[in-house]
Amino acid sequence: MHIIKHKTKLIFTITLVLASLCAEAAHKIVTYFDIGSAGTKYTTYSLDSEKGTYITLFDDYVPVHYALDLENSQDNRFSEAVIVKGIQAIETIKAYMEAKYGHNGAIEYYGVATASWRKAFNGDDLRDRVYNKTGVPIRIISQKEEAELGYEGIATHVKQDNVVVWDIGGGSMQIVTKGDQNSFITAESSLATQNFTYKVREEIKRTSRHHSPHPMTMREIDQAITLAKLNLGFEPNDESRIKEVIATNGGIVYGISPIHERTAARTLEALNGRACTAFSQEELKQAIMQLAGKGDEAMSRYSADRPNPEFVKSHLTDLILIYATMEKMGIETVIVSSISIIDGLIARGPEFVTSGYKARVSK
Q: State the DSSP string of 151-212.
A: HHHHHTT---SS--EEEE-SS-EEEEEE-TTS-EEEEEES--HHHHHHHIIIIIS-S-TTS-
| Partner residues linked to 189 by β-bridges | 173
Average the pLDDT over 321-330 and give the result: 99
**Please, are residues 270 and 281 in contact by the beta-carbon 8 Å criterion?**
no
- Of the candidate ranges 12-16, 110-114, 125-129, 294-298, the one whose mean pLDDT is the lowest: 12-16
pLDDT digit string (tens) for 203-228? 999 998 789 999 999 999 999 999 99
252-255 and 165-168 beta bridge pairing: parallel
Task: Give 75's DSSP letter.
Answer: S
On the question of pLDDT at 132 being above 90, the answer is: yes
State the CB neighbour count (10 A cutoff) for residue 111. 24
Distance linking the first and last C-alpha atoms of the chain: 62
Q: Determine what percent of the chain is predicted with pLDDT higher than 90.
A: 76
**Please, are residues 302 and 267 in contact by the beta-carbon 8 Å criterion?**
yes
* Upstream peptide bond of 350 is cis (omega within 30 degrees of 0): no
pLDDT for 179: 86
| Partner residues linked to 59 by β-bridges | 43
On the question of pLDDT at 2 being above 60, the answer is: no
Mean pLDDT of the chain: 90
On the question of pLDDT at 20 being above 90, the answer is: no
CATH assignment, 158-338: 3.30.420.150
pLDDT for 96: 97
Q: What is the largest CA-CA distance in the chain?
A: 96
158-338 matches 24-143+347-354 in CATH topology: yes
**Please, are residues 44 and 29 in contact by the beta-carbon 8 Å criterion?**
yes
pLDDT digit string (tens) for 80-97? 999 999 999 999 999 999
pLDDT for 308: 74
On the question of pLDDT at 129 being above 90, the answer is: yes
Q: How far apart are CA 284 and CA 71, in angstroms?
A: 29
On the question of pLDDT at 23 being above 50, the answer is: no
pLDDT for 12: 42
Q: How far apart are CA 60 and CA 51, in angstroms?
A: 26
On the question of pLDDT at 186 being above 60, the answer is: yes
When the candidates are 1.10.357.10, 2.60.120.560, 3.30.420.40, 3.90.420.10, the CATH number that belongs to 24-143+347-354 is 3.30.420.40
79 phi, psi to nearest 5 deg: -75, 160
On the question of pLDDT at 15 being above 60, the answer is: no
pLDDT digit string (tens) for 191-201? 999 899 999 99
Q: Determine what percent of the chain is predicted with pLDDT higher than 70.
A: 90
Is the Cα dihedral 183, 187, 188, 193 positive or negative? negative
Average the pLDDT over 107-124 and give the result: 97
Listed by start position, the domains of the chain span 24-143+347-354, 158-338
* Of the candidates 183, 186, 169, 189, the residue with the CA atom closest to the CA atom of residue 340: 169
Work out the pLDDT band at 358, boundaries 50, 70, 90.
low
| Partner residues linked to 278 by β-bridges | 335
pLDDT for 187: 98
pLDDT digit string (tens) for 243-276? 999 999 999 999 999 899 989 999 999 999 999 9
- Residue at 96: amino acid letter: Y
pLDDT for 21: 39
155 phi, psi to nearest 5 deg: -60, -25
- Residue at 261: amino acid letter: E
Give the residue, 34 or 7, on which the prediction is more confident.
34
Q: How far apart are CA 342 and CA 44, in angstroms?
A: 10
* Of the candidates 40, 39, 47, 54, the residue with the CA atom closest to the CA atom of residue 107: 47
pLDDT for 362: 58
252-255 and 184-189 beta bridge pairing: unpaired
State the CB neighbour count (10 A cutoff) for residue 7. 10
